[in-house]
Every structure is written in structure tokens, then in C-alpha cells.
Structure 1
């Protein structure tokens, strides 16, 4: 029995498994097994971790994998042996074990980087993982038990990128739900850029500025956080902000497993892959999701660390590892259409198309689309074999 091993049960890993199962099913192939190795048999809906009730933001995978004939192994990958075609992992009993493969899909995702900023690891929160986002939520709920102070009612969000903006614009409603509507609150975004949301492009910037003004969100620009303590942050410009809640949203990097491969990586640690998502320099390893540095078109654009790209990358990587074992032609990855849908809290949202982010929808119209994306589109299919396999076709456009 030949083995396809997929590391990771995020968007890239789940869709890799479904797509591989689909192609094998189409060719009535019964001598290839698919195994997913991950810490939990659940797809964690990471794009929603800035929201409240984060402990609900996951989709169980046991029934889905069973329906399509995918084996799940609970464990954390520790080492990849390229020559031996084996992966060492720590199992649920905290014991080392090994899985072998004929083809490997690395879909181990990414994580927020915490630089060596004084006090950051001890005092700052984040919304990167479901555990850390839940820790933040519990902290917010406990604020009502603290005596009033400016610091208690202030949240500092370090970083004005996509995650920082969504986290900050959701925060006024979350704070008021805890503290009540008769309290003055402050939400402050600290960003190195000289302008508000400079990295988001000229088309989307006015909407972010308008939403910030509407929601009362302050921006402190052209500086950065240099230290964090229990009572607030110090900034590079020498100023201090008193705050009981500091949320770090700056800097993401691909899984450290990428560093074990003798392959080229980009500045974020993502593996360079060919058009079929095979890792350059590897004969038996493919990459999907946030660990893949993959060209989306012939114009110089590359997949972002987003579920929009991870879903399509997974559908192609799974299809292509199966095609490799079947001896048939692969399906080259291409995803020329790029969209963004940025949640802006109670103000609404903003939807753009194209890498130049041409504005298409704003406020309530965009919010309805964002809600549809977050609650329906990015969730895995139901545990029905025919429907799940059909949904894994790499020809299906994601955006």
C-alpha cells in the first residue's frame, strides 16, 4: 500500500486530503492510503480568532475524514527525514513515533512571531491560535472585576496590518459588552507606518480611516512598541500608553518544519514550489497553505498567508500528489483572482478585487459578504462522501 502523508489539518491540509481522495476515487485506486497528522482532528477557523466566542471557532473533522476514507493520526510532527521518507512525531501519549510516506504534503501552517521585546512574552496577548485568543477573551471578561482605571479601559493593538485592523475594529464592541456602555474606552493601534493602514493600499485606506473615526479608534504612527509591562507599553518615540490589554499582531512565519528541508525558502520561511506545488529540490514532497511560496499567476504575484490561497493550494497539492502516484498529469496551480474582505467592526467591512485592491463593496454590503465568508464559505464540507469529494475539485475557484 502506497502512502500519502499530509502534515497539518488547517485549510491547506484538509483540502489536500480531500482532493487526493477525490482523484484516487475517480481512478478507482485502492492501493494508496491517505493519512493526516495533526495535533487535533479539527479545522480551526483562524480567520475568525479576532471575534468573541473564539472557543467555538473550529469544525470537527473525524466524520468528514471517515466519510472520504482518510486516516487521522493525532500527534505533532517533529522531524522530516527526506532520504528515509519518514516523519517523526510526538503522539497523544507524548511518545515518539514514526510515519513513512511515498509522497508528503507539508501543510503545517504559520505562526505569529514574538520578537525579543522586553515584557512581550509575559504581558502581551495575541489572536494567532485558538488557545491564545481564548486566553485574551477570558482576560477581557475579567476586566469588569477590576476597579476603574484608564489602563483597564484601554487596549493597545501593536501592528496596523490586516489582523491588527480586524482585531482593533472589533474591540470597542467587545469591551463595551464587558464593561458596559457608560464607560469611556480607548482602542489604540500602534504602527510603524507613517500613515493609517498604509500597507493596505490607497483604495481601501479611506474606508479604514472612516471606520476608525466612527469607532473612536486612535492610531499612533511612525513608532513601535519597545517594551510591555502589566500597566502598558513604552514606545520607540519615548512616550508611554497606560493599558491593561496589549495585543501583538506583527509578523508571521511559516512552520519551522520548512527549515528541515534542503530547499529554498523566502523571507517568511515559505518553501519555493513549482507550478504543481512540488518543493524545489525534492522528488517526493509538496507544500500547501502558509508554508508554500507559490506563484498565483504569470504576473509576479504569489500566494498570501490566507485561507483564500490555502484552500486552493490544498486542492492542487492533494490532487497532484495523487496524480504523481497514479502516473497521470498534474493540475498546475493558478489562482489569478485575488480579493480581500476586511472586517471593520460595527462600521461594516470593505471588499476589494485585484492585487491593487480596487474597492467594490463597503459598509453593510461588504459586512454581509464577510459574514457569509466567515460562517459558511471557509468551513469544510459536510461529512457526505460524494459532496465532500466534489467540493475538492481544484478547478473550483476560491475567490
Structure 2
């Protein structure tokens, strides 16, 4: 009877885990181990692009890729993990509850934006966290043209001045004018807890953010937070009111709640603490990767962020090491020493940085060229051809050179 490596999730971490595990099994000519992916869809949602328009195009089918390399795909949503019994219960495509056993498990269930229940009216906010929500926002923006012109209709409030908030806000003037007309008097406002513009991304990158948002007419309200949302805008914690027909929530991301079913230490975002091979500390048969793993990237005290850049390498490492663990082979410790960012800043361009202190290397159109390369090429899956796909899953390939 075949042994099974079960991977929960088909995002960046899950997809690359499946390919990397299959790669190592292939290297050792092992046909007695099945690599299975359990996820709601055999589709990679290109989440880093959900702030853009035409979001329905920001996905890539994984069925042909899995078929090419021999990965089994099960369509379903994982509900319950039985760690002692080494099984996972899930809701299948037809709504029936089913369970599947595993020998080794890789949790790659991702993360989600948190909508605080303590904020009245939070259900009125949009987000760009999941495909369905990003599509709902896009449909809403297009429908604004059917409403009578007003300052409220033409205003968007983005809650949160982190990476996602800034990319969403700086893209928004163009998106609004595409819907309302090139001469529309639009207003985009970022509400952020930080003390100054771009505070969440550090001193080095902040001047580029200031220049870009001023050029685009994007406003900042700093030292502030949203206390309530309604269909016509937001009320801030200090009582100030901003009227807006569109509110986009980008604050706070938390790892999948499935992490709570695995005994182990978790960080403030719910990520499971893992060792350098990405095995959950205290568990013999469970690995975590992508946004569910709190993993050291180097020996300098840096830890992986909940980003595509880290999820790709984490996935390659988790897949290799879970297969190595099953085969009794030596693992390859996860390492991702180089860290870069490329922040899209709408029509102004983009800013590309290197290092954890974000030293600026490229800005404006030069930065935008890199961002377009990232968004259109390197974050997408490999071609659905066995040899090429498995070669691309080598854990020693750096995500950024």
C-alpha cells in the first residue's frame, strides 16, 4: 500500500510543496509514495495582484501541472485535523464530509485578512485578500458610475498603510477614473496608525511613498484608526468623519485557523513555530509552510514574512523535507538570506529595495519594470511539463538572486 504525503492548500506554499516533494521522490525512483493536494480548487490565485483591476484574470489553473507531474488533487475544504489519528476530515465538492489518512502532512492553508468584529459595520468594507472579495470590489467600482455624482461616490478610504494598503490606494485613482471618467474628481485616502506616511515600511522607502502619493493625489490620515464603517464612509477613533462610498480594509492578516488544531507554539499571527527543516516543533509528522509557518530565514534573527516571495521558497523546502523525512534522507534546511521588496505605486511607478532595512535601488519606471516582471512572470507556476516543473522545484534555487 502506498504511503501518502498530504498537502493542505494549493497556494504558493502548497503548490511548490507538491512539486518539490514529487521531485525528491522522482530522484530516488520511488513510486510507493503518493503526493496529494487537498484544496477547494486546483487553481493558484495570484493574490499579490488582487489590488489590480481585471482581477478575474489573476489566477492560474493547476490541474494540468499536477497531472503532468503525477500529483493527486482532491477538491475539498479541510475542516478537522486528527493529529493522533493522522487523518483530515474535509467537505468535498458535493458537500459530503469525508476523511483522508496521511503518513506525513504539510499544512499550507495560507492566511486571511482579519475583519475585527469589534468594529461596527465592518461588513460594509471591501478587501483584496481573496479572489471573490476582490471581484466584489471591482464590480462595486464599476457600478459607481450608475450613482449620482457626488464627493462621497468619488471617494475611497483605504484602512491601513502597509504594503497592501499602499498598493491598493495608489492603483485606485486610475481604477476610479476608468469607471467614472478621465476627468472625474476622485479622492483616495489612506487611514493609518503610523506616525507618518509609509511608517510601516521604514525610513528608507518612505520618501518614495511620499513622492508617489503626493503626485497621484492620494491623501494620508496618520495617527488614526477606523472605529466604525457604514455604507457611506467611516468614523475614526477620534470622532472625525470621512464620507466615502467605498472602504477597503487591508489591516491585519492571520494564519489559517487550522493551525489552532495542531499542538504547538504559535506567533501573534497564528503561525506555527517550525524548525529549520520546517517541521512543526513538537510534531513528528507535520510540516508547516507559507503563511502558516513562523520560520527563520537566516542566522541573523530574521523570520519569513507572509508574502509570496517567502512562500515560494518555503514551499520548495517543505516539500523536499517532508519527502526526505519519509524516505530517511537528509533534509535541506530552509534558508532565504536575501530579502527584497518591490512596492507598486500606481501611475508613479514602483520602488524596488534590497535588504531588511529596505535600501532603495530602483524607483519610478525602472522599479515598475521590475514589478511588472515579478507580477507577470516569476510568481506564476512553471509550465505543465514534468521535467521542467520538477527542476523548478529545487529548494536550492533562490527566489531572488
Q: TM-score interval w.r.t. the shorter chain?
A: over 0.9
Distance (whole Å) between structure 2 residues aligned to residue 120 and residue 98 of structure 1: 37
Q: How many residues align?
A: 399
Distance (whole Å) between structure 2 residues aligned to residue 181 and residue 63 of structure 1: 41
Distance (whole Å) between structure 1 residues aligned to residue 186 and residue 122 of structure 2: 25
Residue 270 of structure 2 corresponds to 269
Residue 206 of structure 1 corresponds to 207
Residues 296-346 of structure 1: CA distance to partner in whole angstroms, max 9, x if unpaired?
Answer: 000100000001000000000000011111111000000000000000000
Distance (whole Å) between structure 1 residues aligned to residue 292 and residue 325 of structure 2: 20
1:339 aligns with 2:340: yes
Residue 121 of structure 1 corresponds to 122
Residues 66-96 of structure 1: CA distance to partner in whole angstroms, max 9, x if unpaired?
Answer: 0000000000000111111000000001111
Equivalent residues in 2 for 1:154-173, closer than 5 Å: 154-173=155-174
Secondary structure at the counterpart of residue 156 of structure 1: strand
Residue 368 of structure 2 corresponds to 367
Equivalent residues in 2 for 1:166-185, closer than 5 Å: 166-185=167-186
Residue 187 of structure 1 corresponds to 188
Structure 1 portions without partners, runs of 5+: none
Deviation at 1:183, TM superposition (A): 1.6
Distance (whole Å) between structure 1 residues aligned to residue 159 and residue 119 of structure 2: 14
Residue 10 of structure 1 corresponds to 11
Q: Indicate if the aligned counterparts of 2:120 and 2:227 stay in contact, CA closer than 8 A.
A: no
Residues 338-369 of structure 1: CA distance to partner in whole angstroms, max 9, x if unpaired?
Answer: 00000000000000000010111001011000
Residue 285 of structure 2 corresponds to 284
Residues 33-82 of structure 1: CA distance to partner in whole angstroms, max 9, x if unpaired?
Answer: 00000000000000000000001110000000000000000000001111
Q: Indicate if the aligned counterparts of 2:278 and 2:287 stay in contact, CA closer than 8 A.
A: yes
Residue 244 of structure 1 corresponds to 245
- Taking a change above 3 Å as real, the CA distance of residues 126 and 120 of structure 1, as seen in their structure-2 partners, is farther
Distance (whole Å) between structure 1 residues aligned to residue 24 and residue 137 of structure 2: 42
Q: Which runs of 4+ in 1 moved over 3 A?
A: 117-121
Two-structure CA RMSD over aligned residues (Å): 0.7
Deviation at 1:120, TM superposition (A): 3.6
Distance (whole Å) between structure 2 residues aligned to residue 50 and residue 119 of structure 1: 25
TM-score by length of 1: 0.99
Q: Indicate if the aligned counterparts of 1:19 and 1:319 stay in contact, CA closer than 8 A.
A: yes
Deviation at 1:223, TM superposition (A): 1.0
Distance (whole Å) between structure 2 residues aligned to residue 145 and residue 49 of structure 1: 24
Q: Indicate if the aligned counterparts of 2:122 and 2:230 stay in contact, CA closer than 8 A.
A: no
Residue 331 of structure 2 corresponds to 330
Secondary structure at the counterpart of residue 148 of structure 1: coil
